[in-house]
């Protein structure tokens, strides 16, 4: 309660500060993600990371161009594609040129289509789509367009890394794949099947199923099936409450093997798993938190934790979104000519705050970066999640993962 009050005062101060800064005409970034409903936790934490990154990495360094500041404007899309399109229109009407969205590929698919259409019809107020989390491969393949940039490694790249790890573990003979019933869950499942049959044809896929997203009350029946299948490893793309529900349920019902996941950390999930998830949960992600890549990264995390004691730096890539956008605006010499900014982003190489380099692949606007497999544990954790003492520690790393993976993207350039 007290923390929330403090937060409220901070927010009020922040509004006051930004109101003064607004006179110098801010570069506004619309953040369209769920801020209410079952996935509100994930959305709100993402918003904080954006606000912090904009403040710390751009505004405190003097802003872009001749001192223009970044400003994050939040829009609640309730994780619904329909609502997102309405919010997108509101954002465009407010003159915002940059749209950041990440939660749910279903939403991202709707947005990228709408933005493509909008930009073709309205060459005077085009917008860019900065996708920081939606990892459906189609977004940088069949459905790619010039205005869409993805800063997270897509589901295929991540699955490539996961299956490498599984293929290297001899005693895994049976794998169970389970996910949420929508584009991303399906993409994860098909990639897992494809890579596994390629890399380890002897592995038996004992289950491959989808469950309704955000609607399952109790995962017990699913975990019973997983137990009955005698799986040695589970692969899931679940996130939010669905991840916690599934993970807790299988562990409770006696599963001890590894659970390879995309999003089983932070937003209360790490704390809720606690001891139960230790040694089982494996996360594939970019951005290494433990051990921290550099003193600068460590200082950044500490500063974030000082500002948001209850928050988590769970989406490291957000710093890349902000830094690369700032760099591109400076290179383009304009914060409104999005074609020039997009051209500057294309092929950009950038020093990742979290170690290594990143490269925005021009063919499909997929950011190529180091991808890690992390393990959920309380050993050797410098920066925990949810103040729980538990966090994720890097187990192995694939540098510049999928640098020359194929893409079916045929981009129409303006």
Partner 1 sequence: MDLIAVNIIDGLVTGLLLFMLSAGLTLIFSMMGVLNFAHASFYMLGAYFAYQISIYLGFWMGLLIAPILVGVLGAGVERYGLRRVHQYGHVPELIFTFGLALLIEEVVQFVWGKNQMPYETPEILQFTAFAIAGNSIPAYKVFMIFISVTIFIGLLYVLTRTRIGMIIQAALSYPKTVEALGHNVPFIFMGVFGVGTALAGVAGVIAGPVLSTFPGMAFVLGSIVFVTIVIGGLGSLWGALVASLLIGWLTTFAKSYNLRMEDLLTTLGFNKPEPIWDSAWQDLWTLTSPQVADILPYILMVLILVFRPYGLFGKRDA
**Segment near partner 1 (CB under 8 A), from 22-30, 117-125, 126-134, 206-214?**
206-214
By CB under 8 A, tell whether 169 contacts partner 1: no
- Count how many residues are written for the chain: 414
Nearer to partner 1 (CB atom), residue 214 or residue 279: 214
Give whole-number Cα distances, 365 to 100, 299, 411, in Å.
Answer: 15, 30, 10
Q: Which of 28, 30, 33, 44 binds partner 1 (CB under 8 A)?
A: 44
Contacts of 29 (CB under 8 A, 6+ apart): 50, 54, 70, 71, 72, 73, 96, 98, 99, 100, 130, 325
Locus of tokens 């699913």: 222
By CB under 8 A, tell whether 222 contacts partner 1: yes
Residue 144 C-beta: closest distance to partner 1, Å: 22
Give dist(CA 267, CA 207) in Å, integer. Answer: 28
Q: Which of 46, 102, 258, 268 binds partner 1 (CB under 8 A)?
A: 268
Give dist(CA 412, CA 116) in Å, integer. Answer: 10
By CB under 8 A, tell whether 167 contacts partner 1: no
Q: In the chain, what is the greatest distance between 2 CA atoms, to the nearest angstrom?
A: 64
**Segment near partner 1 (CB under 8 A), from 20-28, 35-43, 334-342, 347-355?**
35-43
Question: Any idea of the CA torsion for 303, 290, 391, 307, to the nearest 10 degrees?
Answer: 0
By CB under 8 A, tell whether 40 contacts partner 1: yes
Q: Which of 205, 206, 210, 411 binds partner 1 (CB under 8 A)?
A: 210
In the region spanning residues 231 to 260, those forming contacts with partner 1, defined by CB under 8 A, are 241, 244-245, 248, 252-254
Q: Is 19 exposed, middle or buried (0-12, 13-18, 19+ CB in 10 A)?
A: exposed
In the region spanning residues 289 to 348, those forming contacts with partner 1, defined by CB under 8 A, are 310
Q: Where do contacts with partner 1 occur on this chain (CB under 8 A)?
A: 1, 4, 36-41, 43-45, 181, 209-212, 214-218, 220-222, 224-225, 227-228, 241, 244-245, 248, 252-254, 267-269, 271-272, 274, 310, 386, 388
């Amino acid at each position: 309660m007290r923390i929330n009050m403090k937060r409220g005062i901070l927010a009020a101060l922040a509004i006051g500060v930004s109101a003064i800064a607004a006179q110098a005409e801010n570069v506004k970034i619309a953040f369209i993600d769920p801020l209410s409903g079952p996935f509100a936790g994930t959305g709100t934490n993402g918003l904080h990371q954006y606000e912090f990154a904009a403040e710390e990495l751009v505004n405190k360094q003097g802003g872009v161009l001749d001192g223009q500041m970044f400003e994050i404007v939040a829009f609640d899309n309730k994780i619904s594609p329909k609502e997102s399109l309405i919010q997108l229109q509101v954002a465009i009407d407010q003159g915002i040129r940059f749209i950041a969205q990440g939660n749910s590929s279903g939403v991202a698919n709707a947005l990228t289509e709408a933005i493509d259409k909008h930009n073709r019809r309205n060459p005077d107020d085009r917008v860019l789509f900065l996708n920081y989390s939606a990892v459906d491969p189609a977004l940088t393949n069949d459905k790619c367009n010039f205005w869409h940039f993805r800063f997270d490694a897509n589901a295929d790249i991540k699955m490539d890394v996961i299956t490498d790890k599984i293929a290297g573990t001899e005693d895994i003979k049976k794998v169970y794949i389970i996910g949420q019933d929508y584009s991303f869950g399906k993409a994860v499942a098909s990639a897992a099947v494809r890579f596994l049959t390629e890399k380890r044809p002897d592995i038996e896929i004992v289950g491959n199923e989808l469950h309704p997203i955000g609607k399952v009350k109790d995962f017990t029946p699913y975990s019973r099936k997983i137990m009955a299948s005698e799986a040695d490893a589970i692969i899931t793309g679940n996130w939010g409450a669905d991840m916690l529900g599934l993970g807790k349920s299988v562990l409770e019902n006696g599963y001890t093997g590894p659970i390879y996941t995309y999003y089983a950390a932070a937003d209360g999930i790490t704390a809720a798993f606690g001891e139960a998830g230790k040694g089982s949960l494996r996360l594939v992600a970019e951005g290494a938190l433990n051990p921290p890549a550099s003193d600068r990264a460590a200082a950044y995390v500490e500063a974030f934790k000082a500002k948001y004691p209850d928050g988590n730096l769970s989406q490291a890539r957000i710093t890349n979104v902000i830094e690369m956008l700032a760099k591109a605006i400076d290179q383009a010499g304009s914060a409104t000519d999005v074609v020039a900014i997009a051209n500057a982003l294309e092929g950009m190489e950038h020093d990742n705050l979290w170690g290594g380099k990143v490269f925005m692949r021009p063919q499909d606007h997929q950011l190529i970066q180091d991808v890690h497999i992390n393990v959920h544990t309380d050993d050797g954790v410098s920066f925990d999640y949810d103040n729980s003492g538990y966090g994720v520690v890097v187990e192995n790393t694939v540098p510049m993962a999928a640098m020359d993976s194929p893409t079916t993207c045929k981009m129409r350039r303006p």
